[in-house]
Structure 1
């Protein structure tokens, strides 16, 4: 079947899946980006899938993320967790490709995303290999930051890189997560700067250097995430400890 028809059917079904109307701009963007160029199998099915070892979010999850992010035209946007590049392509439709920066801790996925974005006409999106916990300070401040991985609290480096009245959207929590928006500036309110909650979420934890699938595993003696360096261990990925002896947790 024509991919354009499948794409129309996919977006038409999202309102029923989400139980609410899509933001009009998100609707148009998702009808435009050729998802089958990023996802080889079941590209237009509303389910998570895996491509080249990377999790690809279901279309309904992507729609939820961008509805929460609420970017305006020409906003400077950072996508943390580029993956295959699909989310960055949707962002490019919303704010313009030259306004989108995407980072991923996996060099292999960075190359993958660059290739797919270039093939689909979004070569203006900048994709770089970075530790997402550190953000992308060279291109800050950002009006919008989308973190496609869970964290216990808003990563401080990302919050620091928000423009005045900027917004960070990410799944907050450990095993139990909630999709939240954190804002900077005078409108910020609530614990950890959370200004809005968008219901339950289920994401993998944000990785730091040394945890990526295609990198060398190592023991850590210093936490890269300064806000977690005095917390106790509870996750296999080592979200919240100063030191992990991986041999003990295999």
Structure 2
């Protein structure tokens, strides 16, 4: 079946009363426009309503992505920052909702940054800027933003992200630890959009592709491994225990 037909079926199911995660016409049109196959390794399953793992990150299911878009309430001239851009799919849909040049994405994992850039280019959204940054610090060079989307859970909203919003701007994020709620934060007001389950936000040094910077820790671990593998005296084949 043609991808365009599969996208139509996907969004129809998201709008149906059984799910009802897509309610606005603008989100519906954007999700019907953006192809998912550049962002999902398995083309045949690109439009299935489930999440995928890719390069150590989770590619959100269409339902989860739709909830984020509705909570953000993007206006046509909004500037948007996506924190934890991952493979780039949400950034592509946001580019449809506003403009490519108005969407910036950051991720703490460098290989995901390269992957997102490649995926966005393949999908026709090469104008979206993607950079490697610590998400908790945001992207101050291009601030302020009308909307910030944090695609990772945190116990409290990162202060730097709140400071990079325009007055009255909106931060959407999963808030909490073991139990999380999708919230939209505007100034001091919080609006909940139901429970969610996202990976926690990483800090520098926790990403899967990081190089461990503490040389002593690396060396201690290597010495411990070698000690564990070294054979004891009674295991050595050069000792003749019968003649000892």
| TM-score after normalising by structure 2 | 0.84
Out of 152, 160, 163, the position equivalent to 2:155 is 152
Residue in 2 aligned with 1:116? 119
Out of 193, 196, 209, the position equivalent to 1:198 is 193
Residue in 2 aligned with 1:224? none
> Higher helix share goes to which structure?
2
Residue in 2 aligned with 1:62? 65
Residue in 1 aligned with 2:231? none
User: Where does the alignment leave 5 or more consecutive residues of structure 1 unmatched?
Assistant: 220-246
1:20: how far off? 5.5
The range that moved more, 35-44 or 144-153, is 35-44
Task: Give per-residue Cα distances to partners, 1:148-185, cap 9 Å, x unaligned.
Answer: 0000011111001000110000000000000001112x
Out of 194, 197, 207, the position equivalent to 1:212 is 207
- Answer yes or no: is 1:91 the counterpart of 2:86: no
SS at the partner of 2:169?
strand
CA RMSD of aligned residues (A): 1.4
1:92: how far off? 0.2
Task: Give per-residue Cα distances to partners, 1:62-112, cap 9 Å, x unaligned.
Answer: 000010000101101000011111010000000110000000000000000
User: Where does the alignment leave 5 or more consecutive residues of structure 2 unmatched?
Assistant: 215-220, 222-244
Change (3 A) 1:13 1:77: same
Q: Following the alignment from structure 1 to structure 2, what is the Cα–Cα distance between the partners of residues 216 and 204?
A: 21
Q: Following the alignment from structure 1 to structure 2, what is the Cα–Cα distance between the partners of residues 216 and 113?
A: 21
Question: 1:142-181, aligned counterparts within 5 Å?
Answer: 142-181=145-184
Q: Following the alignment from structure 1 to structure 2, what is the Cα–Cα distance between the partners of residues 14 and 205?
A: 26
Residue in 2 aligned with 1:32? 33
Structure 1 ranges of 4+ moved more than 4 A: none
Q: Following the alignment from structure 2 to structure 1, what is the Cα–Cα distance between the partners of residues 56 and 148?
A: 24
Residue in 2 aligned with 1:240? none
SS at the partner of 1:4?
helix
